[in-house]
Structure 1
Amino acid sequence: MANLRDLRARKKTVQATKKITAAMKMIAAAKLRRAQKRAQDARPYVQLMSKMLKDLLEANAKNDIPPLLAGHSQDDVHLIIVATSNRGLCGGFNSHIVKEAKRKISSLLRQGKQVKIICVGKRGRDQLKQEYGANILETYDAHDKPVYADAERLAKRVISLFEHKEIECCTLYYNKFLSALAYEPRHLSLIPFTPLDEDLKDTSSEKSALSSIYEYEPDQEMVLKKLIPENLCVQLYRAFLENAASEQGARMTAMDGATRNAGDMIHSLDLIINRTRQANITRELVEIIAGAEAI
């Protein structure tokens, strides 16, 4: 049995850890409120953008669709973008989305496809490089407060790869924020662009039977030329915002659990310390009584 000094030192260490995890929980909760608002505020714009592109595609089905929207005729080279975080201590936040991405990558490789990977967040890169290090093109930092410039920079890189015919398809993996306690892995096809079903839900009580009529200024080609790259930026930015909110929620939950576990461990150590002290006192009393009887 450990002596009292070791037990008290261990208790002190656990108490210090508990203070750290409790502080991290409070910080994550504060960041979560801001991140949640940003993610939710961005959703209506993304939904409108997705609906607009869907309507434009349906209205111009007979015309040539820009390759960046429809993709090339082949799908032999896939780009997988995996959005994770730079830091850990957030439960299964990173491992869940990496698991989904690995399943897709493995499936593509079995089909004889070529796969290239871009990681957003160091944690995703660290988990993927063990199996697919040769497939990783580059890694971008993930931020607690994503800015549009981050999405724009990545979008330009994706467009460049596509225009130089280094990739033919692109899929984005990220975590969608559901609540402070829940998030859900999502995958979105960016090239060819396939909107999420949830982004196409009609918010009106009754959908109009009339088709939308668009007037283009200056012309359709110029509008689509601007709108399609903009959509790529918007979809990436939304994913970064959803990921940031999900990360803070996961971290808050993980730190709450760690704080509770530390409290339970401190309680257990208190019991062990008390029992050890009682055993020591009993032993000393027995020694004193035995000595007195010997005299």
Structure 2
Amino acid sequence: MRVVAAARLRRAQENIVATRPFAEKFNTILGHLIAQIENPSHPLLESRELKRVCLISVSADRGLCGSFNSNVIRTTTQRAQHYQAQGAEVTVICVGRRTRDYFARRDYNVIAEYVNIFRQLAFETAVEIVEEFEHLYRDKQVDRVEVIYNDFKSAILQVVLVEQLLPLTPEVPTGDELFLDYLYEPEQEAIFQSVLAKHLNMQMWKVLLDSNAAEQAARMAAMENATRNANELIDDLILQRNRARQTQITTEISEIVSGAAALEG
């Protein structure tokens, strides 16, 4: 399992490394447009009084990956309790079998679930998830959408992140030498609407790729630790067996010597 996880990690790492620059550039372009448009308006930018919150919890479909799943579940539970303490209603979208199993058995309002998507991860899945919570926000059924997932830092480090997806809060770029007053065709507003519509899809795709890479890294580390612990256990058992065998042989030799001495006497 460690070897399989390592092979899958290489592919997952290549995918996330290739996607991150594109996702970051999306944020930059969006920031440029917002900086140049006076009073940009869009339903996904609208901030409302916090009464209903949707949490997207992204875990794995399988276990044997250390604390990967438990960290996401714990953080999601803490966020839910935080908003419930403020009097907000919390709904959950479960991505991965582990979060689905956990929250479905407890008193949580699970409105959607996506299981076994990491076997053949596709961009269409990210689009489907975005459509699920985007229409809830547009219809004012939720006032905020957050995603909780494991961010892939390296093969030995995965960090649980909580990111707000809606309402969108793109940052205006500062200190960007490439930030010029471009002439846009079509108009800035049209480009802004087009980029904004694709922004969430790209961010959700990045979340799924990050979580997939982090899962494989966590499983590889967990299996490596399990292999090392198993080898140590085998060594301890061999040592105990050798000691027991040595004691038995010593006892038998002592009995033979004692019997021979008795016969001679």
TM-score, normalised with respect to structure 2? 0.89
Displacement of 1:290 in angstroms is: 4.4
Q: Please give the alpha-carbon distance, in whole angstroms, between the structure 2 residues aligned to 1:180 and 1:275.
A: 40
For these two proteins, the number of residue pairs brought into alignment is: 262
Query: How does 1:164-183 map onto structure 2 within 5 Å?
Result: 164-183=139-158
Displacement of 1:145 in angstroms is: 4.7
Please name the residue that 2:118 is paired with.
143
Aligned letter for 2:42? P
Aligned letter for 1:94? N
**Mapped pair 1:66 → 2:42:** yes
Please name the residue that 1:208 is paired with.
177
Q: Please give the alpha-carbon distance, in whole angstroms, between the structure 2 residues aligned to 1:124 and 1:49.
A: 29
Displacement of 1:153 in angstroms is: 0.8
Q: SS at 1:62's partner residue?
A: coil
Please name the residue that 2:100 is paired with.
125
Please name the residue that 2:10 is paired with.
33
Please name the residue that 2:221 is paired with.
253
Displacement of 1:285 in angstroms is: 2.9
Aligned letter for 1:111? Q
Q: Percent identity?
A: 31
Q: Please give the alpha-carbon distance, in whole angstroms, between the structure 2 residues aligned to 1:210 and 1:271.
A: 68
Query: How does 1:72-91 map onto structure 2 within 5 Å?
Result: 72-91=47-66
Q: SS at 1:159's partner residue?
A: helix
The alpha-carbon distance between structure 1 residues 283 and 209, as it changes in their structure 2 partners (threshold 3 A), is closer
**Mapped pair 1:286 → 2:254:** yes
Q: SS at 2:56's partner residue?
A: strand
Q: Choose 45-54 or 93-102, whichever is displaced more.
A: 93-102
Aligned letter for 1:263? N
**Mapped pair 1:53 → 2:30:** yes
Q: Please give the alpha-carbon distance, in whole angstroms, between the structure 2 residues aligned to 1:41 and 1:154.
A: 22
Q: SS at 2:108's partner residue?
A: helix
TM-score, normalised with respect to structure 1? 0.80
Aligned letter for 1:32? L
Please name the residue that 1:276 is paired with.
244
